[in-house]
Structure 1
Amino acid sequence: MCGQATAEPRFRAALDEGLPLALTHRSYAYEAGGIPNNERLEFLGDSVLGVVVTDALFRNHPDLPEGQLARLRSAVVNSRALAGVARTIGLGDYILLGRGEETTGGRDKDSILADALEATLGAVYLAGGMPAAGELIHTLFDPLMRRSATLGAGLDWKTSLQEAAAAHGLGAPVYVVESDGPEHAKTFAATVVIDGIARGSGTGRTKKDAEMQAAAATIEDLGPPPGVEATPDG
């Protein structure tokens, strides 16, 4: 999975040991009697991903100020984008889920896919270090980073949704947000309601991220306002 690094026996052995844990969702771990789950690896992978993406954006866009770099990064490192990458490699097929999550479509939930991908990156980092993790991240995320540079105002999904709703003759979007999980590891779920009708939904580790993903999903549902180009999906 990580090019030449996978040829190293020690790397392959460490990765073979780490991947099952990276794909163990907390629902499965609970039903299996409280075995370890992938949340620690997810925590690690999130940081590794952030460093690699931030470094790439910093080097590739030497003239951009901090604020614009942060917006580019947020277009790449968010639950919806990560879930999209996870789907392209079929990661959901390998996640170990509890019965409840399995029956409610957990294999295709953005939050579960994003967390499993980050945990996988954490496992790769532990097995092969930053070179192996960086190689995999660039393979998976370079296309998304290139597209992020062309998104322009589309990075602000909530503003774009306000414009789209007005262009369609609809009222202002209202965001309904719920949270789940322990205080140190909350997951937020947001739903956009326009004129009393639930439109798009999204999840994230912060309320803002969940609202942005819900706004992006709603824009896809409504279509862009006149004169605004649709943003490529992450």
Structure 2
Amino acid sequence: MKLSGELKAFEGRLGHRFSQPALLVRAVTHSSMVSPTRDDNQRLEFLGDRVLGLVMAEALLERDRMAEEGLLAPRFNALVRKETCADVAREIGLGDVLKLGRSEMLSGGRRKQALLGDAMEAVIAAVYRDAGFEAAKALVLRLWGQRIDSVEEDARDAKTALQEWAQARALPPPDYVETARTGPDHAPRFTIEVRLAIGETESATAGSKRQAEQAAAKALLTRLEAG
């Protein structure tokens, strides 16, 4: 099988040349494009999730040989969650080469976080099937790069930390309010305001309510701790 020009360019961005090009084609094929002669990437996604998990578990153990499970778990979750996979996918232009059905394409599928995250995991599995675990490991470590070194800060659950800050001062839990929603249905942007009973507030905007809540909590906590 010969790859299209777009997929050859993507191989360059990915940093892996496939000896079995069909694996890459399958990895970028969404279920909306499935046909009797074309497989989608769901099974590869399942495998890639496990390969990514093993790579990250090993990397975290190697980088901090003294850390206990209670510290490693949130770091691990931050590195393998769909949002992180989708961020990496955007950096290498994975959305541009996805094979989507017409309805998924019209609804903005190339920008959807869940779809990008799933496809990134499928690509990892394709590399694993094409060249083995060491090749997949090298790929993941290179693409995730600085995220692994800075994961301790990223793994901090700002909402939990802010709630603990409030509890330590005998305050009720923070309140999170959606104050705005913009953008089309397939790519909404949420603005969330976090409020404390003492009158302190902060707002943040993101592509999901969870991300906006975390960002608002982090901003407020940073200001409170600095003050």
Name the TM-score, length of structure 2 as normaliser: 0.70
Structure 1 regions of 5+ residues with no counterpart? 7-11, 176-190, 203-213, 230-234
Distance in 2, matches of 1:155 and 1:56, equals 18
In angstroms, what is the RMSD of aligned CA positions? Answer: 3.3
Distance in 2, matches of 1:18 and 1:130, equals 15
What is the aligned residue count?
Answer: 187
19, 30, 39: which is aligned to 1:13? 19
Contact 2:158 2:218 in 1 (8 A): no
Distance in 2, matches of 1:224 and 1:136, equals 33
Distance apart, 1:160 and its partner CA? 5.1
Distance in 2, matches of 1:118 and 1:76, equals 12
Distance in 1, matches of 2:165 and 2:82, equals 23
Q: Deviations over 1:191-217 (max 9, x none)?
A: 89769xxx6554xxxxxxxxxxx3323
Name the TM-score, length of structure 1 as normaliser: 0.68
Aligned to 1:72: 75
5 Å-filtered alignment, 1:46-195, equals 46-151=49-154, 155-159=156-160, 172-173=175-176
Larger radius of gyration: 2
Structure 1 residues 171 and 158: CA distance shift in structure 2, 3 A: closer
Distance apart, 1:19 and its partner CA? 0.4
Distance in 1, matches of 2:78 and 2:224, equals 22
Counterpart residue identity of residue 118, structure 1: E
Counterpart residue identity of residue 17, structure 1: A
Distance apart, 1:156 and its partner CA? 1.2
Contact 2:159 2:213 in 1 (8 A): no
Contact 2:79 2:148 in 1 (8 A): yes
Counterpart residue identity of residue 93, structure 1: D
Sequence identity percentage: 35
**What SS is found at the alignment partner of 1:173?**
strand
